[in-house]
Structure 1
Amino acid sequence: MLLRPVLALLLVFLFLESNAQNYSKIGNHDFNYNWEFRLLEKSEKKEKPDWKKIRLPHDWSVSFSFDASKEGATGYLPGGIGLYQKNFLLNKDNSKTTYLLFDGVYNNTEVHINNQLLGSHPYGYSPFFFDITKTLRNNDSLNTIKVKVDHSRYVDSRWYTGSGIYRNVKLIHKNNLHVPIWGIFITTPSISKDITTTHLKTLVKNNNQSEQNFDLQIQIYDDNTKLVSDYSKKYNVKAHQQINLESTLSISKPYLWDIASPRMYKATITLVQEGIVLDKNQVSFGIRKIKFDANKGFFLNDINTPIKGVCLHHDGGIVGAAVPKDIWRRRLQKLKDAGCNAIRIAHNPGSQEFLDLCDEMGFLVQDEFFDEWDNPKDKRLNTNEKSIDSITRGYTQHFQKWAEKDLKNTMLAHRNHPSIFQWSIGNEIEWTYPRNANATGFFNNINWDGNYFWEEPPHTVEQITEKLKTLPKGAYDIGETAKKLATWTRELDTTRYITANCILPSASHLSGYADALDVVGYSYRRILYDYGHKNYPNKPIMGTENLVQWHEWKAIEERPFISGTFLWTGIDYMGESNNQWPRKATPSGMLDLAGFEKPSYHMIKTLWNKDPHIYATTQILDKSIYKIGKDGEPKEKTKDAWKTALWVWHDVNNHWNYTEKDKIIVEVYSNCDEIELCLNGESLGSKKLINFEDRIYKWIVPYTRGELKVVGSKNGEIQQIETINTSDAADSIKLTTDKTVLKADGYTTAHIVAQLIDKKGNPVTTSNEKISFIVDGKTKILGVDNGSASNIQDYQSNEIITHKGRCLLLVQSTTQKSNVTIKAVSKKLSSNDIHITID
Structure 2
Amino acid sequence: MLALLVALGSTSALAGAATPAACGTREAQPSQVRERTNIDSGWRFALGHAHDPARDFGYGTAPFFFAKAGYGDGPASPKFDDRAWRLLDLPHDWGVEVPFDPKAEANHGSRAIGPGFPEHNIGWYRKSLVIPESDRGRRIGVEFDGVFRDSVVWFNGHYIGRQPSGYGSFRHDLTDYVNYGGPNFLVVRVDTSTFEGWFYEGAGIYRHVWLNKTDPLHVAPSGTFVTSTVNGTDASVTARATIANEDERDHVFTVEQVILSPAGKPLARISLPPQTVAKGEKVETSADLAVPNAALWSLETPVLHQLVTTVRDEERIRDRYVTSFGVRTIRWDPQSGFWLNGRNIRLQGTNNHQDHAGIGVALPDEMQVYRLERLKAMGANAYRASHHPPTPEMLDAADRLGMLVIDENRMMGTAPELRDQLDRMVLRDRNHPSVILWSVGNEEWAIEGNALGARLNRLMQARVTELDPTRPVSAATSGGDQVGISSTTQVAGFNYRAQHDADAYHKAFPNVPIVMTEEGATTTTRGIYFDDRENVHLSAFDRPPRPTGSSSIEQGWRAVVERPWMAGMFVWTGFDYRGETTPFGWPAISSQFGMLDTTGLFKDSAYYLKSVWSAEPLAHIAGHWTWPGREGRAIPIWVYANAEEVELTLDGRSLGRHVLDPAGHAEWQVSYAPGVLAATAFRAGKPIATDRVETTGAQKSLALSVERPSDLDGDGDIAVVAVSARDANGRSVPIADNDVAFTVTGAAEIIGVGNGDPGSHEPDRFGDRYAIAGFSDWELADVPAGSMVLPATAALAWRDPFRWYPPGSGPKTPDAFVLRGRLQGSAGGSQERRTLFLPSLAEGQRIFVGGRELTALAKPSGRGLSVVLDEAARAEEVILLLPSSGAAALARLQDIGLNGRNVASLQSVTPAETWHRRLFSGHAQVIVRLGGDRHARLTATAAGLESASVALRRPSKEPR
Distance 1:711 1:656 in 2: 22
- Whether the 8 Å contact between 1:661 and 1:703 is mirrored in structure 2 is yes
2:301 aligned residue (235, 241, 261)? 261
CA shift, 1:536, in A, is 1.9
Query: 2:322 pairs with 282, 286, 290, which one?
Result: 282
Residue in structure 1 matching 2:152, options 104, 110, 113: 110
- Measured at CA, do residues 109 and 741 of structure 1 come closer, stay the same or move farther in structure 2, by a change above 3 Å? closer
Q: Note the C-alpha offset of 1:655.
A: 4.6
Deviation of 1:501 after TM superposition, in Å, equals: 0.5
SS at match of 1:319: coil
Contact 2:367–2:709 at 8 Å: present in 1 too? no
Distance 1:182 1:137 in 2: 27
SS in 1 for 2:400: helix
- Give the one of 13, 16, 39 matched to 1:31: 39
Secondary structure, counterpart of 1:500 in structure 2: strand
Residue number among 66, 78, 88 corresponding to 1:54 in the alignment: 88
The answer to whether the aligner puts 1:514 opposite 2:489 as a matched pair is no
The code of the aligned residue for 1:210 comes to R
CA distance in 1, matches of 2:325, 2:99: 42
Q: Does the CA contact (< 8 Å) of 2:599 and 2:754 recur in 1?
A: yes
C-alpha displacement of 1:744:
12
Q: Per-residue deviation at 1:747? A: 7.7
The one-letter code matched in structure 2 to 1:417 is: H
Check whether the contact 1:824–1:831 (CA below 8 A) recurs between aligned residues: yes
Letter in 2 for 1:77: R
Aligned pair 1:482/2:457, yes or no?
yes
Instruction: Give per-residue Cα distances to partners, 1:564-619, cap 9 Å, x unaligned.
Output: 1111001111111386112111111010011111011011111111111111124x
Tell me which residue corresponds to 1:383.
none
SS at match of 1:286: strand
Q: In structure 2, the residue corresponding to 1:752 is in which secondary structure? A: strand
1:605 is aligned to 610
1:545 corresponds to 2:515: no
CA pair 115-549 structure 1, distance change in 2 beyond 3 A: same
Larger Rg: 2
| 1:207 shift after superposition | 2.2
Structure 1 position 169, deviation (Å): 1.0
**Retained in 2: the 8 A contact 1:656–1:725?**
no
- For 2:923, the equivalent position in structure 1 comes to 806
- From 934, 941, 944, the equivalent of 1:825 is 941
Q: What is aligned with 1:84?
A: 125
**Counterpart secondary structure, 2:371:** helix
CA distance in 2, matches of 1:358, 1:29: 23
For residues 743 and 530 of structure 1, do their structure 2 counterparts lie closer, same or farther at Cα, with a shift above 3 Å needed?
A: closer
- In structure 2, do the counterparts of structure 1 residues 688 and 656 end up closer, same or farther at CA, with 3 Å as the change threshold? farther
Match of 2:622 in 1: 617
Q: Does 1:412 align with 2:412?
A: no
| Cα shift at 1:415 | 0.8
Q: d(CA) in 2 for partners of 1:694 and 1:337?
A: 19
More moved, 804-813 vs 528-537: 528-537
Aligned residue in 2 for 1:504: 479
**CA distance, structure 2, for counterparts of residue 656 and residue 328 of structure 1:** 37
Which deviates further from its counterpart, 62-71 or 118-127? 62-71
- CA offsets 1:143-166 (integer angstroms, 9 cap, x no match): 11111111122x442111111111
Aligned counterparts of 2:513 and 2:710: Cα–Cα separation in 1: 47
> Does the 8 A contact of 2:718 with 2:930 survive in 1?
yes
Assess if the C-alpha contact under 8 Å between 2:681 and 2:688 holds in 1. yes
Which residues of 2 match residues 674-685 of structure 1 at below 5 A? 674-685=645-656
Q: By how many angstroms is 1:515 displaced? A: 4.0
Q: Check conservation: 2:406, 2:438, Cα contact below 8 A.
A: yes
> What's the CA shift for 1:29?
4.5
Q: Give the partner amino acid of 2:137.
A: S
1:392-436 alpha-carbon deviations (Å, 9 max, x no partner)? xxxxxxx7341110100111111100111111011001x2249x3
Gaps of 5+ in 1: 1-25, 375-398, 437-467, 619-652
Residue 43 (structure 1) aligned with residue 46 (structure 2)? no
Question: Structure 2 residue aligned with 1:762, among 721, 731, 747?
Answer: 731
**Conserved? CA contact 1:96–1:176, under 8 Å:** yes
Report the Cα distance in structure 2 between the residues aligned to 1:200 and 1:694, rounded to whole angstroms: 44
Aligned mates of 1:210, 1:823 — CA distance in 2: 63
1:349 partnered with 2:357: no
Distance 1:296 1:790, change over 3 A: same
1:243 deviates by 0.9
Which residue of the partner structure matches residue 219 of structure 2?
Answer: 179
Q: Give the 3 Å change call, closer, same or farther, for CA 739–504 of structure 1 in structure 2.
A: closer
Q: Is residue 369–residue 709 contact of structure 2 (8 Å, CA) maintained in 1?
A: no
Give the 5 Å matches for 1:548-697: 549-577=553-581, 580-618=585-623, 653=624, 655=626, 659-690=630-661, 695-697=664-666
Deviation at 1:746, TM superposition (A): 8.7
Distance in 2 separating the partners of 1:742 and 1:349? 24
| Structure with more helix by fraction | 1
Q: Secondary structure at the match of 1:33?
A: coil
Note the C-alpha offset of 1:694. Answer: 7.4
After alignment, is 279-288 or 526-535 more displaced? 526-535
Pairwise mapping of residues 177-576 of structure 1 onto structure 2 (< 5 A)? 177-188=217-228, 190-235=229-274, 236-370=276-410, 372-373=411-412, 400-429=415-444, 431-433=445-447, 436=449, 477-506=452-481, 509-511=482-484, 513-525=485-497, 528-547=501-520, 549-576=553-580
- 1:401 to 1:203, Cα distance in 2 relative to 1, 3 A: closer
Q: What is the letter of the counterpart of residue 223 of structure 1?
A: P
Cα separation, 1, equivalents of 2:431 and 2:620: 40
Quote the Cα distance in structure 1 between the aligned partners of 2:712 and 2:309.
30
Gaps of 5+ in 2: 1-33, 59-73, 75-80, 114-120, 521-551, 767-914
Structure 1 residues 207-216 or 729-738, which shifts more? 207-216
TM-score, normalised via structure 1 length: 0.81
Structure 2 Cα separation of the partners of residues 222 and 747 of structure 1 = 24
- 2:672 paired residue among 692, 703, 715: 703
Partners of 1:427 and 1:614 lie apart in 2 by 36
SS in 2 for 1:107: coil
Report the 3-state secondary structure (helix = DSSP H, G, I; strand = E; otherwise coil) of the residue aligned with 2:393.
helix
> Matched residue pairs, number?
706
Greater mean deviation of Cα atoms: 513-522 or 597-606: 513-522
Q: Partners in 2 of 1:832 and 1:150 — Cα distance?
A: 42
1:150 equivalent to 2:125? Answer: no
Alignment CA distance shift 1:263-1:745 (3 Å)? closer
Q: 1:658 to 1:262 in 2, by over 3 A?
A: farther
Please give the secondary structure, in 2, of the residue aligned with 1:403: helix
Residue 878 of structure 2 corresponds to none
Structure 1 residues 191-211: Cα deviation after superposition (integer angstroms, max 9, x where no partner): 112321111111112222333
- Alpha-carbon distance in structure 2 between the residues aligned to 1:28 and 1:345: 27
The letter of the residue matching 2:477 is C
Check whether the contact 2:126–2:185 (CA below 8 A) recurs between aligned residues: yes
Q: Which amino acid aligns with 1:72?
A: A
Q: Is the 8 A contact 1:822 1:835 kept in 2?
A: yes
From the superposition, tell whether residues 412 and 147 of structure 1 become closer, same or farther in structure 2 (CA, over 3 Å). Answer: same
Following superposition, the deviation at residue 362 of structure 1 comes to 0.8
**Preserved CA contact (<8 Å) 2:405 2:434:** yes
* Relative contact order, higher structure (CA 8 A, sep 6+): 2
1:772 lines up with 2:741 in the alignment: yes
What amino acid is aligned across from residue 136 of structure 1 in structure 2? V
How many angstroms apart in 2 are the aligned matches of 1:694 and 1:483?
37
Give the TM-score, by structure 2 length. 0.71
| CA deviation after TM superposition for structure 1 residue 94, in Å | 4.5
Q: 1:101 aligns with which of 138, 143, 152?
A: 143
Distance 1:198 1:598, change over 3 A: same
Aligned partners of 2:709 and 2:459: how far apart in 1? 51
Equivalent residue for 1:465? Answer: none
User: In structure 2, the residue corresponding to 1:478 is in which secondary structure?
Assistant: helix
Partner AA of 1:330 in structure 2? Y
- Answer whether contact 1:741 1:836 (CA < 8 A) is retained: no
